[in-house]
Amino acid sequence: MPLPPPSHDDVVHSESFLRLLMRRQLSLSLTCAVTFLGALLGLPLLNYFAPELMATRVGGFTLSWLVIGILFFPFVWIISFYFIKRSIALEEEEVAQAQSGKETR
């Protein structure tokens, strides 16, 4: 037996509320994914198009090895930290909207 449609004052289960929430989550996910892919694909491109720059010695390492071996993982952690903090903030905003019974567009 299908469930009855939600009442008009049920903001949390309305199509527009859920669509907005999903759109905001998708935007956050795509931003983080594009940033990660930019770093992942940017390093080989830098090695190909700017080999002199990437061969520069920094702290005993070439710049390419410094980025790959030391800086890449903290960069991924920063992206993850941003994603988690922003995701929690989005959820808290949605909870506040649901509790107040208002929809934002």
Domain assignment present for residue 4? The answer is no
Residue 33 lies in a domain: yes
What pLDDT, on a 0 to 100 scale, did the predictor assign at position 23? 93
Question: Is residue 8, in this structure, part of any structural domain at all?
Answer: no
Domain membership flag for residue 103:
no
Cβ-based neighbours of 65, under 8 Å, separated by 6 or more: none
* Reported pTM: 0.74
Q: How many structural domains are present in the chain? A: 1
- pLDDT tens for each residue of the chain, 105 residues long: 676 665 555 556 678 888 888 899 999 999 999 999 999 999 999 999 999 999 999 999 999 999 999 999 999 999 999 999 999 999 898 888 878 876 555
Q: What is the span of the domain harbouring residue 54?
A: 15-96
CA nearest 101: which of 8, 4, 5, 3? 8
Q: Report pLDDT for 72.
A: 94
8: which 2 tokens?
Answer: 């008009």
